[in-house]
Structure 1
Amino acid sequence: MEITLRLEIATMTSGPGRPPETKHSPWLILGVLCLGFFMILLDTTIVNIAIPDMIDRLGASLDQILWILNAYILVYAVLLITSGRLGDLYGAKRLFILGLIIFTLASAACGLAQNPGQLIAFRVIQGVGGALLTPQTLSVLTVIFPPERRGAAFGIWGAVAGVATVAGPTLGGWLVTNWDWRWIFYVNVPVGIIALIMAVIVMPDLRLNRRHQLDYVGTLLITISLFLICYGLIEGQSHDWGKAWGPITIPMIIGAGVIVLAIFLWQQYAQRNREPLVPFRIFADRNFSLMNGVVAAIAFGMLGLFLPLIIYLQSVLGLTALQAGLAVAPMSLVSMFVAPLAGRLSDKTGGKWVLFFGLSLWVVGLSIVVFSAQVNSNRGDLIPGLLVAGLGLGCTFAPLQTIAMRNVQPQVAGAASGMINTTRQLGGVIGSAAVGALLQNQLVTQLTDSAQTNATALPPDQQGRFIDAFKSASSGSLEVGAGQSGAALPPNTPQAIVELALKTFHEGFTAAMKSTMVLPLIVLAVATLTVLFVRNGGKASPPSAPAATTGKVSPETTRVDS
């Protein structure tokens, strides 16, 4: 069945700024989009919890493990902008379904991998599928929901995003504990099949009948730029921010990526009157530009905070992988229930003060978590802060998307969605790299200080070796598994020294973690203040009419194939 709707320059047949009619309920379509989106985001965090099992069963080295984790994120981040634009050109439904097929097949292949090389290759393919799918979710929601109901839709979408990000360790811990690492990939297969069948049946085929062409030069430039920047940030720590490829250093790689990015921006500006990959007019809206910065800060804070916190839960508090995942579950549960309510409130108020309130609570809640994390703490001590943080987090997703996408025209919804998702991923990559580097630096200082303090309990002839063991560990061979002492001790080390080493590690790591987590809290606080510059304008208003891309005014047609 094909429904054809004519788009004049200022109006649609369904009314000014109204969405096109679809065969199925927009809420059912939202459910399909969220199912696919949940699966994609889950894979960014679920793999971390399976690292020990992969090392044991797959025989993977540390470098290979790092690429198993990061190959997916790298490809995913690099291709998001291009995939968003492809959705604009060829239809969001086609790209969503193609992404689902690629991701589901790649997940099955990951589970069947027989060596680390195969798993890395299949993770790259997973990243391609995820990048094709993700931008289509926001662009479709922007088109099928009227402005005054988008907040509620974005609230549900945001709840899924929050739960997927935080639930990865919990679900992954359960799967690894009861089966093995392969099931963190096999679980995607039935979910992917269900989402694929529903997408074919339910999703409308929204396409603008215009003569389009892809900006190949822009696509090549942004791909090279993001690859170099992401690669440098991901690999920086493992190369000690020094040489990576022969005489080429990590700073040189990142610098080259920044230069190519500048060339890309110049090229996009030069093409602004044609069809650039990133239409500059989406940045003319102050709110969209501000929300790109805020979403990057949120990703920076989320991944940056959880990196040391998850290690603390397992290494200092001695929790298992599943227990560590369950320890942060209260935050995700609160966020899941609050997000839809925040979405409805954003519809009524415009979202500015909901977002400001949410970010403020998130900063306060995470500050309570940092304050409560002591050497002798338990899971219960962290719950109050996590509950406050979850309440705040639930109030961020919906208003952020409502503010960002409120005035985005349907013709560039895919590009805008791809842009804001790319910004989110880059914020996460930068957050992980920056917090990881700072944590390493703090460990050098804090572990050494703790070792010098506790070494006084040892005979004088053993004090120097004890301190040197921690200096060496904090410089690159740190063991952070549950029950580890943080330093490599000989097999026959007396129990008293083992316990002293464990005490030293717990004190040193806790102090280093608390100092490190100040950085993401500062970034989040700045993002909170940024929200004050948002133009609220009350309720969401219909997007402005699309501007003609050529000199003459001509009607456009939106096809909705159901």
Structure 2
Amino acid sequence: MGKWSPLVAVCLGGFILLVDVTIVTIALPDMARTLDASLNGLQWVIDAYALALAALVLASGSLADQIGRKRTYLGSLVVFGLASLACGLAPTTGILVVSRAVQGIGGAAMLATTLAIVNVTYHGRDRGIALGVWGAVAGAASATGPVVGGLLTEFLGWRWIFLINIPVAVVAIWLTAKVVSESRNPHARGVDVPGVVTFTAGTAAITFGLMEAGQHAWASARVLGWIGAGVVILIGFAVLQARSSNAMLDLGLFRQWSFPVVLLAAMAFSFAAFAYMPFLSVWLQQRLGMQALAAGLVLLPMSLAAFVVAGTVGRHLHSVPFRYTLGVGLGLIGLGALLLTTGDSWAVTLPGMLVTGLGVGVTGQALPGAIMATVPHHRAGMASGALNTFRQLGFALGVAVLGTVVSHAPTFDQGLDSSYVVAGIVGLVVAVLAVALVRSRNAVHDPEVEQVLRAEA
């Protein structure tokens, strides 16, 4: 087979991994009708996947370094494919949520290995081409997710948004087994199991507590108990990381303000730009009576605006101080959320979608470079994994928080409008923090690292 066959193999996996982040959004109303799911249940369908990605992507990278990237990628494709089958056949909301979590476990390992395989397979000019193709495929997956989800849901049913993954995964497994060479890190130290367990338990407990706030008072013992337990567990995680010689996250990186603020910006990026999407989808279909495909097309202007920014000015943004690109990008995302409102037509969403898309384009380009510029080059892998972790964590927590805002409002429309305001405030506040506190250098000067950043953005 040709030299680009390994690239095709990882792009197939990367596509189904990333498309499943957004494809589910449009199918939520149909899932609710079929499974008699509550709003809280629908939130968990989204968050189970995002939390698994957030909790395990760093550990998956360590595992791949130790046992082999090809082996890890093949195993993750098998897990993802079987979990997709379980999602597609799920008879209840509970089984669907568990299956989504398993799907996220496979997705975390795929996310941790795809770029690594490209980096060790290609060199020089070929690496630049391969990373560019991978980045284009990743962008296309995120952009087309709602439209593909609308097509499948409207004409075949929501179960097919998961079942369609199976033939793609089978082809990717076959191709990977034939054309991808094994590689590993001879200096790998293994997986930080205590760190993985405590981080997963802590973030899951806080997310559960936030979701429970949608059904109980914020000051209830149930809500405060879960959130408090999550905070205590995360404190334990920090203690373990400080004492471990094999920590999944080097706490020494937090000694300068720029690193944690960039991670906060990554959380705010996902929170302010995407966390209200599930509720917007419900509004479009249940309040305005739109079909699934039409609702998916309403979300397309954001992706198109982001693509325009990335294709026209994206490559020039690394010459601008990162605090300004993060500030402008998050500021636009916050403004876009504040421009969103409910009404009698989908057209009221257009100004907010477009402005948010511009902010997504700027911030998405800036985040990878900003995080790399705050750490030594030998910590680039950990920094990249931390960035992916906090982006997914911001989405998971955002869905939980905004779900409580929607649940406690007198009407769904009022709750959705309030969720836009909360998202907008988060974006604007973190934009100010980024401008004030990020002090990393303006650019990353390692050419190979720059290629990876462009692909990740």
TM-score norm. by structure 1 comes to 0.68
Corresponding letter in the other structure for 2:169 = G
Match for residue 86 of structure 1? 63
Corresponding letter in the other structure for 2:365 = A
Q: Tell me the SS of whatever aligns to 1:106.
A: helix
Q: Please point out which of 32, 43, 48 is paired with 1:71.
A: 48
Structure with higher helix content: 2
Q: For the structure 1 residues 239 and 44, does the alpha-carbon distance in structure 2 shift closer, same or farther, using more than 3 Å as the test?
A: farther
Corresponding letter in the other structure for 1:250 = V
Instruction: Quote the Cα distance in structure 1 between the aligned partners of 2:16 and 2:69.
Output: 18
Cα offsets for 1:166-205 (capped at 9, x unmatched): 5433222211111112211111123323443454456564
Q: Please point out which of 195, 219, 222 is paired with 1:249.
A: 222
Match for residue 237 of structure 2? 264
Give yes or no for contact 1:160–1:336 (8 Å, CA) kept in 2. Answer: no
Instruction: Quote the Cα distance in structure 1 between the aligned partners of 2:431 and 2:261.
Output: 11
Give yes or no for contact 2:17–2:107 (8 Å, CA) kept in 1. Answer: yes
* 2:372 is the counterpart of 1:399: no
Match for residue 326 of structure 1? 297
Give yes or no for contact 2:273–2:337 (8 Å, CA) kept in 1. Answer: no
- State the 1:351 CA deviation: 5.1
Q: For the structure 1 residues 238 and 328, does the alpha-carbon distance in structure 2 shift closer, same or farther, using more than 3 Å as the test?
A: same
Give yes or no for contact 1:81–1:422 (8 Å, CA) kept in 2. Answer: yes
* 2:411 is the counterpart of 1:440: no
Unaligned runs of 5+ in 2: 448-457
- State the 1:347 CA deviation: 4.8
Pairs within 5 Å for 1:108-507? 108-116=85-93, 118-137=95-114, 164-165=141-142, 167-200=144-177, 205-210=182-187, 212-239=189-216, 249-271=222-244, 274-283=245-254, 287-349=258-320, 352-368=323-339, 370=340, 373=341, 375-376=343-344, 378-406=345-373, 412-441=379-408, 443-444=409-410, 447=411
Q: For the structure 1 residues 413 and 332, does the alpha-carbon distance in structure 2 shift closer, same or farther, using more than 3 Å as the test?
A: same
Instruction: Quote the Cα distance in structure 1 between the aligned partners of 2:248 and 2:364.
Output: 26
Cα offsets for 1:341-365 (capped at 9, x unmatched): 4442245556554444433333333
Instruction: Quote the Cα distance in structure 2 between the aligned partners of 1:29 and 1:239.
Output: 50
Match for residue 541 of structure 1? 445
Match for residue 513 of structure 1? 416
Instruction: Quote the Cα distance in structure 2 between the aligned partners of 1:233 and 1:146.
Output: 46
Q: Tell me the SS of whatever aligns to 2:184.
A: strand
Q: Tell me the SS of whatever aligns to 1:313.
A: helix
Corresponding letter in the other structure for 1:537 = R
Cα offsets for 1:44-67 (capped at 9, x unmatched): 332343344345545667766555
Give yes or no for contact 2:334–2:428 (8 Å, CA) kept in 1. Answer: yes
Instruction: Quote the Cα distance in structure 1 between the aligned partners of 2:293 and 2:120.
Output: 40
Q: For the structure 1 residues 220 and 389, does the alpha-carbon distance in structure 2 shift closer, same or farther, using more than 3 Å as the test?
A: closer
Instruction: Quote the Cα distance in structure 2 between the aligned partners of 1:62 and 1:389.
Output: 25
Instruction: Quote the Cα distance in structure 2 between the aligned partners of 1:404 and 1:34.
Output: 24
Report the more deviating stretch, 177-186 or 514-523: 514-523
Give yes or no for contact 2:210–2:400 (8 Å, CA) kept in 1. Answer: yes
Instruction: Report the RMSD for the aligned CA atoms in angstroms.
Output: 3.8
Give yes or no for contact 2:27–2:149 (8 Å, CA) kept in 1. Answer: yes
Match for residue 528 of structure 1? 431
Q: Percent identity?
A: 36
Match for residue 455 of structure 2? none
Q: For the structure 1 residues 30 and 340, does the alpha-carbon distance in structure 2 shift closer, same or farther, using more than 3 Å as the test?
A: farther
Corresponding letter in the other structure for 2:76 = G
Instruction: Quote the Cα distance in structure 1 between the aligned partners of 2:213 and 2:132.
Output: 36
Q: Tell me the SS of whatever aligns to 1:276.
A: coil
Corresponding letter in the other structure for 1:531 = A
Cα offsets for 1:417-468 (capped at 9, x unmatched): 3322221122112212222222333x22xx5xxxxxxxxxxxxxxxxxxxxx
Q: Tell me the SS of whatever aligns to 1:208.
A: coil
Alignment: residue pair count: 446
Match for residue 492 of structure 1? none
Q: Tell me the SS of whatever aligns to 2:21.
A: coil
Q: Tell me the SS of whatever aligns to 2:22.
A: coil
Instruction: Quote the Cα distance in structure 1 between the aligned partners of 2:371 and 2:120.
Output: 14
Corresponding letter in the other structure for 1:87 = A
Instruction: Quote the Cα distance in structure 2 between the aligned partners of 1:383 and 1:219.
Output: 41
